[in-house]
Structure 1
């Protein structure tokens, strides 16, 4: 049944978090002090799900391969996930799973995260089902997921899927000696500006081991290709919450890239989805 449900789908992999999003702050909390937010929202988070939900909203058949948070955290976001149009058959919900929670502290046009992970990034007992899923593309929502489960690449490539990878800031992952080799094996790498700078791609673009798209927030995005760089600026929009904006950008870019559009069009469509995301609370539509 799973293979039928995911035939031709875009599978997005990576942990799901219960995002507790605090907004309306003028500055980040300081040690020893208490800061009060104007609003609090509870939303499903994690790059895999947010990208999948945005792709679904764009009309694509999508599936999620993810470890879900358990207990009250999973229950709080499950209904919205089920209404997203994303196939969750590769991501079984188990209330006994541990907490996976992110506190998102939104401050003007930026934010800080405090996250608790639990267990593996994706359920290992779903890897066999994924290998027979007949999906067309695998998007990995965070570098940590790929480092933990490099066999995802092997499965995807053996099945003829193309593969994209977001970075999602994790200093321990970025300092790993094997990180460049892993990135070189994907078809498309989607870091943000800080991550790309940490990897040395901004000073030495020729060192990018694959097609790399650097997300620059309100400045738009730059694609670093074998033929040079292409930059498309973003249109200014009112910012409510930047959580998941990069993951939404991924969806817009992938939607066009998988249709064979030129890179400039892909960047434009990525910027459009990222802009839509910052005008709402939470990255998923």
Structure 2
């Protein structure tokens, strides 16, 4: 199985993509349907988006990490910046959003293990000055939070390669993006592709076909995860936990897997680390709120 080169820069990660204001409704008795009103048991407002959530979990694992996103402005800045600052993620590669743009908001609805999202995107996915940040040579690895971000900015991978970096890519469901016929080359250009099971099915990924990226990791929720490469498939089961809110679980998995991979661990160990971070995520409300010392937590469960 493909492993990361042991690189310098203290293995520092930079995570790029959109930052969302997540309005998370939990404890729904069922998902809403047209013409009905459903009352939630709880509501929280937290920073979201795959780029940030993965970065926050990487920071909680003790690895230096930066976020390259458009930061919120106005009332949402007041609501989200304290948690962004407390996450331990370096924000120096991010820049404030123009007040003229709509805020980027995701409404997440969770009913047991079921979830649904409604999202508003606005403005660019990659902040100005991103190329200059990579050119500093501070980073060993680039994580791209959404396939949509790479579609919007296909120069991300060449920029990272020019800086000597490895690259990982989350899929993140987007009907319009997944319907495109030009995804193969983009996905093949990264080192690690991390779709969930539904996204993998949509893209025709299976253990009986060549993987779309050198290392393709399919997140299967309660069923664990599988890593696919030219050398074959490795499956690792997940430990059962009580699900409170599954928002950001896949992004948390990404962090555990990437951190272990950058440490040069075997792929099976990387899958176990990803599974454990994903399990930690579903036991708390919000994508990355008040995370514990994950390095110590995972060491106890090793």
- TM-score (norm: length of structure 1): 0.94
After superposition, where does 1:75-154 map in structure 2 within 5 Å? 75-94=78-97, 96=99, 97-154=101-158
Partners of 2:90 and 2:41 in 1: CA distance: 34
Q: RMSD across aligned C-alpha pairs, in angstroms? A: 1.5
| Matching residue of 1:172 | 176
Give the Cα–Cα distance (whole angstroms) in 1 for the partners of residues 62 and 193 of structure 2.
23
- Counterpart residue number, 1:3: none
**Contact 1:205/1:224 (<8 A) preserved:** no
SS of the residue aligned with 2:63? coil
- Matched residue, 1:245: 249
Q: Partner of 2:237 in structure 1?
A: 233
Q: 2:188 aligns with which of 168, 184, 188?
A: 184
What residue number does 1:14 align with? Answer: 17
- The secondary structure found in structure 1 opposite 2:96 is coil
| Contact kept in structure 1, 2:211 and 2:229, CA below 8 Å | no
1:32-71 equivalences under 5 Å are 32-71=35-74
Question: Which residue matches 1:161?
Answer: 165
Which structure has more relative contact order (CA 8 Å, sep 6+)? It is: 2
One of 211, 220, 223 as aligned partner of 2:224: 220
Count of equivalent residues: 280
Aligned to 1:25: 28
* Distance in 1 between residues matched to 2:13 and 2:116, nearest whole Å: 29
- Determine if contact 2:211/2:228 at 8 Å carries over to the other structure: no
**Alpha-carbon distance in 2 for matches of 1:74, 1:199:** 36
Shift in CA distance, 158/204, structure 1 to aligned 2, threshold 3 Å: same
- 1:24-46 deviation digits (Å, cap 9, x = unpaired): 01211111111110100011100
| Greater displacement, 75-84 / 122-131 | 122-131
Query: Partners of 2:13 and 2:278 in 1: how far apart?
Result: 19
> Any stretches of 5+ residues in structure 2 without a counterpart?
1-8, 292-302
Select which of 249, 254, 259 maps to 2:263. 259
Runs (5+) with no aligned partner, structure 1: 1-5
2:71 aligned counterpart, secondary structure:
coil
Q: Deviations over 1:207-265 (max 9, x none)?
A: 43321000000000000111111110000001100000000000000111001100110
- 2:296 — aligned with what? none
Deviations 1:149-208 (Å, cap 9, x if unpaired)? Answer: 111111100000000000000111112121110000000000000111111112743143
- In structure 1, the partner of 2:204 is 200
Q: Distance in 1 between matches of 2:78 and 2:16?
A: 20
8 A contact 2:19–2:71 mirrored in 1 = yes
